[in-house]
Structure 1
Amino acid sequence: MSNRFGIGWSLHGDGKSISPGTVVAPNERLHWPQTISIGVQHVMAMFGSTVLVPAITGFPATTTLFFSGVGTLLFLLITAGRVPSYLGSSFAFIAPVSAAMAGHGMAGALGGIVVSGAALFVIGLIVQKSGTGWIHALMPPVVMGTIVALIGLNLASATLKPMQDFPLTTFATVLAIVVSAVFFRGLLGRLSILLGLLVGYLVALSQGQVNFQPIVDAPVIGLPVFTAPSFHLDTMLVFLPVVFVLIAENIGHVKTVGLMTGRDLDAVNGRALMADGAATLLAGFGGGSGTTTYAENIGVMASSRVYSTAAYWIAGIVAILVAFFPKFGAVINTIPAGVSGGAGIVLYGMIGIIGARLWVQNKVDFSNPINLMTAGTGLIIAIAVTTALDFGGVSLGGIALGTIATLVIYHLMRSIARARGTEPTDAGEISGATHSKLG
């Protein structure tokens, strides 16, 4: 079979086992029974995080699953099967989607997702032609880490009401997630969020906080619910930080897979960005959540040593099939506020700390006043601004304002310091993108 689009695979060895010191490469596969089992593992690995986003934002879960499956297949086609990846729901979209829904409903939020996808696709085209050097110059580690961290910290206020209204359910969910993450090994450990949701759901059920009527009313088989987007100028800037995060995640994913498979995949960075942009754009036009490459599935590849894109074709097809069972989506929609709030506490905290991890990994020097003021100002603005501020008819929330401030302050201070010859030395400023997982 032709491998032009990455849909032809040679058999690895005898097709049943993996020789010591080798891996199943992206263009290889095991026999189909083994490949299908690995594909199902990828579905399980992405499942908890992918359905959590619609559970928090109110998007239809089955529609999100449908577009995550379609997006994964699209990603494999555009990257010509060179980058094994599952495209699941991106957590970075939660804040801008929530802000847009408050003003313009779900359609307005989808418009922001469409624009984000289109912007990412265009950036992918540029990267494919010119490389990633300009991205590292625009967003050095101090800037990227701050943008990632401020998204998580801005979202912290959303967990207050669940804690106040359903304290037992909220903190039981938190406890279940953190215990599961360290108590279980392998796949169960990577499914800690899903396990925490199940425990929290049972706690909520014992307190009469679950309404099963939507499950009773939903048909067993049916089409996903598709919604058309609407476009509003005041929501566009709210989605700007998400594009920066998706850039870092995709480049980091490609770099990680290249290291794990022993292949130089730098030439595919542009294709990966274009693919995620196209998948996000498509999801926005139909009612799904924005997508990103998933680190959970890297864990499955690392433990199985199977990097075959054939397994991801299986995973994408399975996700699409599940989307045609409305009762499943109804179950997701019955998740109580206390459960999603508890998951949010862990999730938003992780996003904030991932930003700090980017600083540590890239040795960002905070004795440099440029770095110190860039990060400090951006974070405080994002934390303090919990409701949008009006700037001559344009409303900007904490995440958008914090991101703009971070970019402007860093480049303004650095430009002035260079012009005056007072720029401090910072070994951590020029460095490759690190894989930060927000999805």
Structure 2
Amino acid sequence: MSMFNWQMVDPGPGQPVAPNQRLPWGKTIGIGAQHVVAMFGATFVFPLVMGLDPNLAILFSGICTILFLLVTQNKVPSYLGTSASFVAGVAAIRAQGGDSADVTGSILVCGLVLAAVGVLVHFSGTGAIHKVLPPAVTGAVVMLIGFNLAPVVANIYWPQDQWVALLTATFLVFAATLLPGFWSRIAVFLALIFGYLVSWLFDAVFGQIHSITGSSNGKEIDHDRISWAGVKAADWVGLPSGTLSDGVSVVHSPSFSLTFILLVLPGVIALIAENTGHVKAVAEMTGDDLDPYMGRAIGADGVATALASAFGGSPTTTYAENIGVMGATRVYSTAAYYVAAAVAILLGLCPKFGQVVSATPGGVLGGITVILYGMIGLVGAKIWVENGVDFGDPVNLVGLSAGIIAGIGGVTLQITDDFELSGIALGTILVIVYFHIVNRGHRRPDHHVGADDVTKVL
């Protein structure tokens, strides 16, 4: 039977719809539209903060979602939106003078590495990954990726408009925690709209602001919070085009540098954790055994990331926001994801729409990223808690500590005149190496580290 022959059902409210089933096409289109709204906020925010084109990002999110569904044979309902796992590495690349071609080239290599991991998992199972990357290590790497981004918020986005940033962050906090059901799942999208409206109101009431902008290289200038000159000039229909803020074409060929590749390579660990968790979550919701498709899911995300980066697009990952939509609707039909992908592709082919997103005020991004980046870091702690990582065990406490501080603090190890390891790359290496070194030694499971032990270490 073709995997595109969905069984048409129309159950009552609250009744599940399986991946190989679909609602009538009218309702399926409605569910697909919900998936687009759910992924929208984060999928557009992260290309903006990485300095890449949001229109190209949403275009490839649709293409890559279709690719993912095909590789997983329509067994794993998922939307591939823009990944946040590479944001810190991208910031480090740009801080060292790299441009957008260096960014996409480094991410492309990471995508190929992830695809290779997927092939390994498909043929040998997940045991090797769990052995090399146990929850203690994975949580530490995810944590240092998120918290490494704190200076980006403090130095780039927040100073552009601190009051809009504060109001937007406050709105996002309340929207994500107090709004019911589906609305809380699209809190980032609602915060974008809210921040836009506040910025427009401030422009009307207070006039121009004197601050830095994303293109003023830290120099304070007078400027409107919102400028739609690009929106007016853009076409309604067309392929993504133009140049990015660093002068690189929106659609461009990637460049490759070992130094820059090492800066973003830790993001692969986060993507492995994200995809594994996604497949397990979907399996629990649908009641299907999806372990045989774990390798396919990881590999498909890797190929999708490499494909998007090859044209200058953003990296991809499976989206928790869309799991939220499935949880709220109990509709797991992959047909709805094909609809969502088609809508995303259409939006990606509307340059005017992309310019609206690109005009997002810096203060709005400051308010959103101050929360999103913190959430990325705390996901690492969530991995520890959910897997019962015991920090009374010195293997965990001591084995992970140096890597976390080196990664978050931006410690640098100069190896040659032209090559160094720093920040996330160095932190990840230290986390993995130190953890496994002490883990292979003599362990004392009954020994718990207290204040006296820390004093002895010092």
TM-score (norm 2): 0.87
Task: Answer yes or no: is 1:199 the counterpart of 2:223.
Answer: no
Task: Answer yes or no: is 1:160 the counterpart of 2:154.
Answer: yes
Q: Distance in 2 between matches of 1:389 and 1:168?
A: 38
Q: What amino acid maps onto 1:166 in structure 2? A: D
CA deviations on 1:346-400 (whole Å, 9 max, x unpaired) are: 00111111111111111111011110013322221122117x6542122333111
Aligned equivalent of 1:213: 229
CA shift at 1:237, angstroms? 0.9
Aligned equivalent of 1:410: 435
Q: Indicate if the aligned counterparts of 2:400 and 2:434 stay in contact, CA closer than 8 A.
A: no
CA shift at 1:277, angstroms? 0.7
Aligned equivalent of 2:445: 424
SS at match of 1:92: coil
Q: Indicate if the aligned counterparts of 1:173 and 1:199 stay in contact, CA closer than 8 A.
A: yes
Q: What amino acid maps onto 2:149 in structure 1? A: L
Counterpart selection for 1:74 from 42, 60, 67:
67
Aligned equivalent of 2:338: 313
Mean CA deviation greater in 69-78 or 176-185? 176-185
CA shift at 1:118, angstroms? 0.4
Superposition pairs of residues 288-303 of structure 1, within 5 angstroms: 288-303=313-328
Aligned equivalent of 2:27: 34
Superposition pairs of residues 314-329 of structure 1, within 5 angstroms: 314-329=339-354
Aligned equivalent of 2:173: 178
CA deviations on 1:287-340 (whole Å, 9 max, x unpaired) are: 111000001111111111110000000001110011111111111111122211
Aligned equivalent of 1:169: 164
Task: Answer yes or no: is 1:391 the counterpart of 2:415.
Answer: yes
Aligned equivalent of 2:185: 190
Task: Answer yes or no: is 1:53 the counterpart of 2:68.
Answer: no
CA deviations on 1:241-297 (whole Å, 9 max, x unpaired) are: 111111111111111111111111100001001110111010010111100000111
Q: Indicate if the aligned counterparts of 2:159 and 2:363 stay in contact, CA closer than 8 A.
A: no
CA shift at 1:165, angstroms? 4.2
Q: Indicate if the aligned counterparts of 1:18 and 1:24 stay in contact, CA closer than 8 A.
A: no
Q: What amino acid maps onto 1:133 in structure 2? A: G
CA deviations on 1:71-116 (whole Å, 9 max, x unpaired) are: 0000000000000000000111111122224422111100011101
SS at match of 2:289: coil
Distance of aligned partners of 1:74 and 1:127 in 2 relative to their CA distance in 1, 3 Å threshold: same
Mean CA deviation greater in 251-260 or 216-225? 216-225
Aligned equivalent of 1:90: 83
Q: What amino acid maps onto 2:133 in structure 1? A: M
Q: Indicate if the aligned counterparts of 2:37 and 2:189 stay in contact, CA closer than 8 A.
A: no
Task: Answer yes or no: is 1:233 the counterpart of 2:254.
Answer: no
Task: Answer yes or no: is 1:8 the counterpart of 2:5.
Answer: yes
Q: What amino acid maps onto 1:121 in structure 2? A: A
Q: What amino acid maps onto 1:247 in structure 2? A: I
Q: What amino acid maps onto 1:224 in structure 2? A: P
Q: Indicate if the aligned counterparts of 2:172 and 2:187 stay in contact, CA closer than 8 A.
A: yes
CA deviations on 1:379-427 (whole Å, 9 max, x unpaired) are: 21122117x654212233311111111001101111233xxxx35369x
Aligned equivalent of 2:273: 248
CA shift at 1:120, angstroms? 0.7
Q: Indicate if the aligned counterparts of 1:414 and 1:423 stay in contact, CA closer than 8 A.
A: no
State how many pairs are aligned. 414
Distance of aligned partners of 1:425 and 1:119 in 2 relative to their CA distance in 1, 3 Å threshold: farther
Superposition pairs of residues 362-373 of structure 1, within 5 angstroms: 362-373=387-398
Unaligned runs of 5+ in 1: 427-439
SS at match of 2:440: helix
SS at match of 2:317: strand
SS at match of 2:98: helix
Task: Answer yes or no: is 1:62 the counterpart of 2:55.
Answer: yes
Q: What amino acid maps onto 1:146 in structure 2? A: A
Counterpart selection for 1:336 from 345, 361, 382:
361
Q: What amino acid maps onto 1:125 in structure 2? A: V
CA shift at 1:163, angstroms? 3.0
Aligned equivalent of 1:433: none
Aligned equivalent of 1:429: none
CA deviations on 1:123-182 (whole Å, 9 max, x unpaired) are: 111101100011111111111111111111110111112334421011111111111112
Aligned equivalent of 1:130: 124
Distance of aligned partners of 1:397 and 1:343 in 2 relative to their CA distance in 1, 3 Å threshold: farther
Q: Indicate if the aligned counterparts of 1:57 and 1:98 stay in contact, CA closer than 8 A.
A: yes
Aligned equivalent of 2:220: none
Unaligned runs of 5+ in 2: 204-223, 242-250, 448-458
SS at match of 1:416: coil
Mean CA deviation greater in 67-76 or 154-163? 154-163
Q: Distance in 1 between matches of 2:100 and 2:176?
A: 33
Q: Distance in 2 between matches of 1:425 and 1:198?
A: 53
Aligned equivalent of 2:453: none
RMSD: 1.6
Q: What amino acid maps onto 1:212 in structure 2? A: W
Q: Distance in 2 between matches of 1:179 and 1:116?
A: 36
